[in-house]
Amino acid sequence: MKIKSENLEFYLKSNKDKHSIFLFYGINFGLVDLLYEKTLDIFKVNINDPFSISKIDGNFLKENPYVLKENISTISMFSDKRIILLNLNNIKIDKNIQDILLESIEEKNDYYIIMIKANNLGSKKHTSKNH
């Protein structure tokens, strides 16, 4: 589901538990960062908590395609859900990266939230859906 930036805060506060994957992208990198940080605040994410948070860089994901699925399978000991912060800003999102993402999230479970930050994806990508 695509949500306009001006509606994000209201939508997340009212539908916090309905989604497990969030994709932040666009040509306005400042706005992308602002919305990403706002979402972290709404979910009360402590980015320094290694027991509940996994941070994955795009280059590391490219070299280690299993790492995302492995983190999704890891259950957090101290919170309801494991938060996975995936930064794809510095890599090209090609078919290989798309396949890694799709394979990793294939099996739905309620124990993770993935927040993906990426550059502009363009209009021809199949990574997001308009609703």
Domains and CATH numbers, the chain: 5-118 (3.40.50.300)
pLDDT the model gives residue 83: 92
d(CA 78, CA 89): 29
pLDDT the model gives residue 129: 46
pLDDT the model gives residue 85: 96
Question: What is each CA distance from 80 to 43, 51, 69, 113, in whole angstroms?
Answer: 12, 11, 18, 10
- Which structure tokens are listed for 55? 């941070």
pLDDT the model gives residue 32: 92
pLDDT the model gives residue 101: 87
Number of Cβ within 10 Å of residue 61's Cβ equals 21
List the Cα angle 114/119/122 in 5-degree steps.
105
- Which structure tokens are listed for 47? 């980015």
pLDDT the model gives residue 122: 56
pLDDT under 70: residue ranges of the chain: 120, 122-131
